[in-house]
Amino acid sequence: MIWTLVVLHVLLLGAESSSRGGRTVTFHRTQQDFGRVQARVRPGRDTSGSSGSTRPVHGPPFTSCRTPLTPVEHKVLDDNTHETGFNGDDGSYVILTWVGDGTGVVLVLSTFSAPIDSFIEGGSSRLYRSTDYAKSFHDISHRINNTFIREEFGVSVGPGSSVILTADV
């Protein structure tokens, strides 16, 4: 196997800030999730502040906000909440990357957990780009030649206006 780094330069149109702080989040769907028709109920978090609990390795304990929101705050929250569906995309991993503070550019990489899936079904990874802080996305998979991008390495924010994707060629 030959590992090739594919560098995708993302043009940051209208970006006034040169900040380079990036954040990446990975979401995973199992095969069982695809077969479910009914909605799943999300389990509640343990919000008890008991001193006997150990602190998680990944950060401070969760503390729920106990202050009720005003109707004005609810309206602001509703007006600034956006939902995007990626129709026809059946990737089992979705990686969300915020390219930089103040840029408004967010990338979403949808990929499979193993390259065999892409060869059997003729699929590839899909790359989506948003320039409006994830309010809307455009499919830019052609920019990576519809290549299979390995989920193990995901998306790394590179220097300047670039991201680094690892492909299996």
Rounded to an integer, what is the distance from CA 60 to the centroid of its chain?
Answer: 22
Indicate whether 35 belongs to any domain: no
Helices of type H across 59-132: 71-79, 115-121
Indicate whether 41 belongs to any domain: no
Task: Provide the whole-model pTM.
Answer: 0.53
Structural contact between residues 97 and 116, judged by C-beta atoms closer than 8 angstroms:
no
Indicate whether 152 belongs to any domain: yes
| Phi/psi at 161 (5° precision) | -105, 55
Which amino acid makes up residue 52? G
Total structural domains within the chain: 1
Structural contact between residues 106 and 98, judged by C-beta atoms closer than 8 angstroms:
yes
Q: Which of 98, 160, 87 lies closest to 131 in space, CA to CA?
A: 98
- Structure-block tokens of residue 36: 């479910």
> Reduced to 3 states, what is the DSSP secondary structure of residue 49?
coil
Indicate whether 91 belongs to any domain: yes
Q: Where residue 13 falls among pLDDT bands split at 50, 70, 90?
A: very low
Indicate whether 58 belongs to any domain: no
Indicate whether 140 belongs to any domain: yes
What domain range includes position 91? 1-29+84-169
* 16 pLDDT above the threshold of 70: no
Determine whether 37 is exposed, middle or buried from the number of CB atoms within 10 Å of its CB (0-12, 13-18, 19+).
exposed
pLDDT tens figures, 144-169: 887 888 777 778 877 776 788 877 66
**For residue 153, how many other CB atoms are within 10 A of its CB?**
15
Indicate whether 50 belongs to any domain: no
Indicate whether 46 belongs to any domain: no
Structural contact between residues 61 and 53, judged by C-beta atoms closer than 8 angstroms:
yes
Which amino acid makes up residue 145? N
* pLDDT for position 58: 52
